[in-house]
Amino acid sequence: MRSNSMISFVKFILVCFIFSTFSLTYGQWGPSYTPVRVIVSADKNDWNYKLGESVLFSVSVYKNGNPIEGKVNYQIMPEKMEPVDSGILQLKNGRATLAPQRMSVPGYLRCKVTLTNEGKIYEGMATVAFASHQIIPTTTMPEDFEDFWKQTLMQNKDIPLNSKLTKIEELSDEKLDVYHVKFQNYKLGSYIYGVLSVPKNGTKFPALIKVPGAGVWSHFMFQDTDALKGMIVLDIRIHGIPVVMDDYNEIYGELWNAALNDYWTFNLDNKELYYYRRVYSGCVKAVDFIHSLPQFNQEDLGVSGGSQGGALAIVMAALDQRVDYLVSSYPALCDLTGYLNGRAGGWPHLFDKKNGVFHAKNDKIETSKYYDVVNFARILKVPGYYCWGYNDESCPPTSIQSMYNVISAPKELSIMNDAGHYAYPEQKMLTDEWIYQKLIGIK
């Protein structure tokens, strides 16, 4: 039998593997700092410009905190598009300024700068907005969009939950009861798995459902800090496999790289069979599960997530009126057809230059419209808090902004301009305070 210390070590290694794999796969996880820093700035503090205005990008390069000399390469482009300007700049006392740049249509303009120092390449970027509030989605809503999802959810309603809870003793204590849970979804024998945390100090609680980013994930086996605040927390995964398998953690990485590799493309040519139909249905089924719990107060329910999870949070709130509040960070799956209209589309970039060769076909384009978060945002009625960064390379801000602009429900926004595909602690604090205030009345 393995010792507890050995199991803890294996879990630590798994977490490191998952984080590093995500970073390698999607290019960003959080800000990192190196001895050489390439800083790209814009001449307006908020990085927001009107059409016809000029932006002056400037570059500062430091090594161990001191300015350095040398040459840098720069590229300027609408994000994810081909460069409209590029060249080489000579640094003087570690600094250089580029020629003025403009945009004639609403969108985001990115300046990316690279430097080679001692054989290593260092990069910095700044992305500025031009009339971003005027960005209009490229995707359209099918006439039967709402009927399609009503029918899907009606069919799923007839599938019994058949839920099972297994207590996780090592995470349970005098404050929380924690369970590995599963409940049936989409068809008989198909399940959604997750980890449920229930406070012990009280009898009825509000609830928060957490939906996952892209990939194949286990549970990290740490107590949920939100549950410790006094709310039920259900942290789900979408692929129908257990999320607590101490002796078989390697299976998640193997599934990600094999059977579930590129799952976001599975059956994209058929709206009835596309992979995310089961996923979106399962997120709504999670609401059924929460309402089945005797500890839930039956009134206060929120949902939160980032990236793919940011998309799923919007989808859930749009499809199920029992969701009261949502938090969506740098959401994916927004305005997928952007690439077919000469600008960036959302993750998973189904129709970009690389993937469009396989997927830019009428049947797949039409299927995408039934799953594009823009169309769920159009029918959203739930108050939400949103955040993202202009430097996001995984979920381009053009795609997110086009979605945000069509929301008519109450909405609040936090932008950290230079953030990539992550949230700064300051953003996380804002979203936490917002959802805590809504669900449990505290900051």
Domain residue ranges of the chain, discontinuous segments joined by +: 36-134, 145-440
Distance CA 62, CA 298 (A): 55
Q: Choose which CATH entry (2.60.40.1930, 1.10.357.10, 1.10.10.60, 3.40.50.300) describes domain 36-134.
A: 2.60.40.1930
Q: Using an 8 Å Cβ cutoff, are 194 and 245 in contact? A: no
| Residue 392 is among the residues annotated as catalytic for this protein | yes
pLDDT exceeding 70 applies to what percent of the chain? 92
First to last CA, the chain: 44
Q: Smallest Cα–Cα separation from 375: which of 323, 311, 279, 283?
A: 311
Q: Dump pLDDT digits (tens) for 99-112.
A: 999 999 999 999 99
Rounded to whole angstroms, the Cα distance separating 171 from 154 reads 36
Average pLDDT over residues 158-176: 97
- Cis peptide leading into residue 348 (ω within 30°): yes
Torsion angle of the four alpha carbons 305, 309, 314, 317, in this order, in degrees rounded to the nearest 10: -70
Determine the pLDDT at residue 442.
72
Sheet holding 187-199, edge to edge: 164-167, 176-185, 187-199, 232-237, 205-210, 296-306, 325-329, 384-388, 411-415
* Beta strand segments in 217-309, E: 232-237, 296-306
What tens digit of pLDDT does each residue of 122-161 get? Answer: 999 999 999 999 999 999 999 999 999 999 999 999 999 9
**Dist. CA 441–CA 55, nearest whole Å:** 43
Q: Minimal CA–CA distance to 344: which of 134, 106, 124, 30?
A: 106
Among candidate residues 105, 159, 110, the one with its CA nearest the CA of residue 132? 105
Residue-wise DSSP of 179-243: EEEEEEESEEEEEEEEEEEEESSSS-EEEEEE---SS---------TTGGGT-EEEEEESSSS-S
Locus of tokens 């094999």: 258
Q: Select which of 239, 392, 394, 414 is catalytic.
A: 392
Which of 30-39, 73-82, 394-403 comes out lowest in average pLDDT?
A: 30-39
Pick from 18-22, 206-210, 363-367, 414-418: least confident: 18-22
pLDDT above 50: residue 15 = no
Tokens representing residue 323 in the block: 């969701």
Q: Which of 266, 363, 364, 84 is nearest to 351 (CA)?
A: 364
pLDDT tens track for 423-439 = 999 999 999 999 999 99
Backbone angles phi, psi at 48, to 5 degrees: -115, 130
Q: How confident is the model at residue 27 (pLDDT cuts 50, 70, 90)?
A: very low
Query: How many distinct helices (H) and strands (E) make up the chain?
Result: 10, 18
The residues, ordered by sequence, that sit 6+ positions from 183 with a Cβ below 8 Å of its Cβ are 161, 162, 163, 164, 191, 192, 285, 286, 288, 289
pLDDT class for 251, splitting at 50, 70, 90? confident
421 is annotated as an active-site residue:
yes
What's the pTM value of the predicted model, to 2 decimals?
Answer: 0.93
Half-sphere exposure of residue 54, counting CA atoms within 13 Å on the CB side?
A: 6
- What's the mean pLDDT when you consider all of the chain? 92
* The CATH number of domain 145-440, selected from 1.10.3720.10, 3.40.50.1820, 1.25.10.10, 3.40.190.10: 3.40.50.1820
Nearest 5°: phi and psi at 18? -65, -45
User: What confidence score (pLDDT) does residue 79 get?
Assistant: 96
What digits encode the pLDDT tens for the residues 188-213? 999 999 999 999 999 899 999 999 99
The letter for the amino acid at 199 is: P
How high is the pLDDT of residue 30? Answer: 66
Given 281, 307, 328, 414, the catalytic residue: 307
How distant, in Å, are the alpha carbons of 150, 208, 211, 319, 371 from that of 155?
9, 25, 22, 14, 18
